[in-house]
Amino acid sequence: MPSLFPFSSCPSVGIFGFGAFGQLIARHLAPYFSLLVHDRNADVSASAGQGNVRCADLVATAACDIVILAVPVSQMASVISDISSHLRPGAIVLDVGSVKIEPARLMRAGLPDHVDIIGTHPLFGPQSARAGIAGLKIAICPVRGQRFRRVAAFLRRTLGLNVFVVTPEEHDREAAIVQGVTHLIAKVLVRMDPLPTRMTTASFDLLVGATEMVRHDAPGVFWAIENANPHAGAVREQFFALAMEVRDQLRADQSELMPLAAV
């Protein structure tokens, strides 16, 4: 993509982490880039040898033009430490985590000055992207350098994504509600299985559909959303407090109706 990136005619992309989301990334980038993937789980990495996607060692993957960190936030500091000395001058390093303040801090502190750093958060996953990613949303958080504009242009023009450029702080503040509350509700509904499937309403079907989109997320996703986002705790406590207020109001209403029921 020479019009967007100052590399060769087919820039190389190295992906660290080849779980469900790493594989989703590879599937959509393979038509445009030469892809190398590396995962600490050798069995996972071995499954990458298809078409324009090849498994590679850590050094070769880190030496790509663009390096994508598709690892849990809990592993990011370790991966950054491992790859830092192998990154080529002028490379672009970005992450795809669900939170942005902490990954941005880790990348800024641990990556060499000669690379651009971009935080990204695709606001979709393997389930919600089953029918394609065109029209879906992605947040971009510039951390270091100016080439985030070229990345945003590629995501918008070529992949058809709806791009939002925000700061890590703005992202985490909104995500604490958007993701935090959604995943809390989903966690509760999953524990109420089996859910009704016959006499359901349209609103209930939408709620179940939202739950199914996150039901099979890796445990680290929920951990990051609820624990790595500094704004999530306050939102979580507000949600539980308001839920308790509704419960208490229902109990009060029942108490008021009991004398009438006895008449």
pTM above 0.85, yes or no: yes
- Is the pLDDT score of 172 beyond 80? yes
The domain boundary, picked from 167, 186, 212, lies at: 167
With beta carbons less than 8 A apart as the criterion, state whether 180 and 229 touch: yes
Distance CA 246, CA 248 (A): 5
Q: What are 180-210's pLDDT values in tens digits?
A: 999 999 999 999 999 999 999 999 999 999 9
The domain boundary, picked from 123, 148, 167, lies at: 167
What pLDDT does 1 receive?
Answer: 47
- Is the pLDDT score of 260 beyond 80? no
- Is the pLDDT score of 218 beyond 90? no
Residue 56 falls within a domain, yes or no? yes
Q: Do 118 and 248 sit in the same domain of this protein?
A: no
Distance CA 18, CA 39 (A): 6
Angle at CA of residue 94, ends 145 and 21, nearest 5°: 160
Output the average pLDDT for the chain: 91
DSSP symbol at 226: I
What pLDDT does 253 receive?
Answer: 76
- Is the pLDDT score of 98 beyond 80? yes
The domain boundary, picked from 116, 143, 167, lies at: 167
Q: Which CATH number do you get for residue 67?
A: 3.40.50.720
Name the domain count of the chain. Answer: 2
Residues above pLDDT 70, as percent of the chain: 90
Q: Do 176 and 124 sit in the same domain of this protein?
A: no
Range of the domain at 208: 171-252
Q: What totals of helices (H) and strands (E) does the chain contain, helices first?
A: 10, 8
How large is the average pLDDT for residues 65-83?
Answer: 97
Q: What are 6-22's pLDDT values in tens digits?
A: 555 678 999 999 999 99
Q: Do 47 and 123 sit in the same domain of this protein?
A: yes
DSSP symbol at 45: H
